Amino acid sequence: SSNQMWGGRFAAGPDAIMEAINASIGFDKRLAAQDIAGSRAHAAMLAATGIISDSDAETIREGLLTVLSEIEEGRFEFSTALEDIHMNVEARLKEIVGEPAGRLHTARSRNDQVATDFKLWTRDQFDAFEQGLLALIRALVDQAEAGAAWVMPGFTHLQTAQPVTWGHHMLAYVEMFARDLSRVRDARKRMNECPLGSAALAGTGFAIDRHMTAEALGFDRPTANSLDAVSDRDFALEFLSTASICAMHLSRFAEELVIWSSAQFRFVALSDRFSTGSSIMPQKKNPDAAELIRAKIGRIFGANVALMTVMKGLPLAYSKDMQEDKEQVFDAADNLMLALAAMEGMVKDMSANVDNLEAAASAGFSTATDLADWLVRETGLPFRDAHHVTGSLVAMAEGKGCDLPDLSLEEMQSVSGAITEGIYDVLGVHNSVASRLSHGGTAPARVREQVARWKEILA
Ligand code: ARG
């Protein structure tokens, strides 16, 4: 039989394959609560503007609440023949309340409904994203505070470069996640306009009050252009692109945790709660959560590319292509929230191996730059020459199989006569980091200032 929503124009129902490709109810049932909230706001507005009677609006309101509890309690029978959540809800409303249900769709279309529902859902995800980031940032600031003075190797090219502090490394991620947070808040503000009442594409001749529905649904204002309102998926794309950048940050940190927890590095011990064992190798403790976080970027970035590709080239206004928006965002959001929570848990639980960090920081000639800087400061040597002298000393130490502080003063003086006993002060890793007091530098004093700044921001 033909569809009850548009049967007037149709003699035959759809082919089974048509129904399968067309239906979105399998996934857009996740928008049920938003759909019902939108319908309630719309019905109340239709009554307030005199377009439907107060008693019809009340009947609709009660019916929608019944539908909502049926869905929430798992008693609702979703029908593929009814295509999507919007028609499933309305058809059930009709079964429950009869004729007044047919008045609900005055001055609106599914195009406004889906845009509104999906925006409401995505807005909640932006809020969850914000909370997830804040929790992670707090955990990182706590780590930074604990280890403001712990020394570890800083790397470039994953080769030992200079000693840095643990706190400084943690705060580097705080900066990244705080930029993510700012992107989330910015996008959330921009997307908060209500599409409801666009009436498919052109607006309506009914004297509706779009400000009223916008306000009821927590939007800042109604959208200004009905064509744009039903065609816009920027909000979903901003969610996905913001999520992609954040997932990239998460993935970099996850990669570091995988490396740091290895037997070769032993910088950190991950907690049992965020590790797994091996079924064959009894000694193993694997950083699976970190690995999965590292991998999640794939599907989140994939969702971003997929939806960009769906949207490119679509003429205004709505096209059914846009039905492909939701699964991408659902999947990306689910996995992002999981990754954020897992990272927060790992960061909270992990313990730094302070001795190993310091030993690693001291190896690999990590204070060579301090040595060169000392020559510039104390002997007036141009930096390029100091660099050369230091290079020769590194080569000497490497030849002897020792570290820079192990070279005797005589050995050092054989390379440069200007070197004095004072050089040994700067070859220690603690002095090295303590000296890096420039704005944004790694010195414990600077880290503590930054920790205090973040605590104030987060308070
Ligand atoms: N299920 C549709 C979607 O997800 C809802 C809007 C359908 N509108 C239409 N005119 N066919 O996009």
Q: Is the pLDDT of residue 275 over 90?
A: no
Nearest CA to ligand 1 atom 1: 84
Pocket of ligand 1 (CB under 6 A): 24, 28, 84, 110-111, 114, 318, 320, 322-323
Amino acid at 143: Q
Alpha-carbon distance of 142 to 131, in angstroms, equals: 17
Q: Which of 114, 117, 118, 314 to mutate to test the pocket of ligand 1 (most atoms within 8 A of CB)?
A: 114
183 CA distance to ligand 1 middle (Å): 29
10 Cα–ligand 1 center, Å = 18
Identify the CA nearest to 30 among candidates 94, 162, 120.
120
Q: Whose Cα sits closest to atom 12 in ligand 1?
A: 323
Test site for ligand 1: of 28, 108, 110, most ligand atoms within 8 A of the Cβ: 110
The pLDDT, as a whole number, for residue 1 is 58
- How far apart CA 96 and CA 75 sit, in angstroms, is 14
**Distance (Å) from CA 93 to ligand 1 centroid:** 19
State the catalytic residues.
157, 278
Q: How far is the CA of 96 from the centre of ligand 1 (A)?
A: 24
Instruction: Assign 8 a pLDDT band (cuts: 50, 70, 90).
Output: confident
Residue nearest ligand 1's atom 4 by CA: 323
Whether pLDDT at 402 is above 80: yes
- pLDDT tens digits, residue range 226-270? 999 999 999 999 999 999 999 999 999 999 999 999 999 999 999
Residue 140 has pLDDT above 80, yes or no: yes
Query: Residue 345 has what pLDDT?
Result: 96
Q: Distance from the CA of 419 to the center of ligand 1, in angstroms? A: 77
**Adjacent-strand bridge partners of 221:** 193
Summarised one tens digit per residue, pLDDT across range 92-117 is 999 999 999 999 999 999 999 999 99
Q: Is 219 left (phi over 0), alpha (psi -120 to 50) or beta?
A: beta
Q: Angle 85-97/110-146 helices, nearest 10 degrees?
A: 120
Q: 28 CA distance to ligand 1 centroid (A)?
A: 10
Whether 2 shows a pLDDT value over 80: the answer reads no
- Asked whether the predicted pLDDT for residue 347 surpasses 90, the reply is yes
pLDDT of 283 reads: 79
pLDDT, tens digit (0-9, with 9 covering 90-100), for 182-221: 999 999 999 999 999 999 999 999 999 999 999 999 999 9
Q: For residue 12, what pLDDT band results from cuts at 50, 70 and 90?
A: confident
Choice from 196, 320, 322 to test ligand 1 binding pocket (greatest atom count within 8 A of CB): 320
Q: Which residue has the higher pLDDT, 403 or 57?
A: 57
The predicted model scores a pTM of 0.93
Please say whether the beta carbons of 47 and 53 come within 8 A: yes
Mean pLDDT across the chain, nearest whole number? 95
Ligand 1 pocket test, pick from 232, 323, 330 with the greatest ligand atom count within 8 Å of Cβ, gives 323
Residue range 354-377: mean pLDDT, rounded: 93
User: What is the spatial distance between Cα 226 and Cα 312, in angstroms, rounded to a whole number?
Assistant: 19
Indicate whether 5 pLDDT > 80.
Answer: no
Q: How far is the CA of 110 from the centre of ligand 1 (A)?
A: 6
Q: Using the predicted structure, report yes or no on whether residue 80 has a pLDDT greater than 90.
A: yes
Whose CA is closest to atom 3 on ligand 1? 323
The ligand 1 atom at the shortest distance from the C-alpha of residue 28 is 4
Ordered alpha helix ranges (H), 11-53: 16-22, 25-28, 32-48
CA torsion, ordered 128, 299, 36, 68, to nearest 10 deg: -90
pLDDT above 90 as % of the chain: 90
Q: How confident is the model at residue 277 (pLDDT cuts 50, 70, 90)?
A: confident
State ipTM: 0.96
Dist. CA 312 → ligand 1 center (Å): 18
pLDDT, mean of residues 415-430 = 91
In the reported structure, the alpha carbon of residue 317 is separated from the centroid of ligand 1 by a whole-number distance in angstroms of 12
What local confidence, expressed as pLDDT, does residue 282 receive? 76
Average pLDDT over residues 125-144: 98
**317 upstream amide cis, omega within 30 of 0:** yes
Question: What average pLDDT does this structure show over 433-458?
Answer: 97
Residue 78 region by backbone torsions, left for phi larger than 0, else alpha for psi between -120 and 50, else beta: beta
| Closest residue by CA, ligand 1 atom 11 | 320
Number of other CB atoms surrounding residue 302 within 10 Å: 15
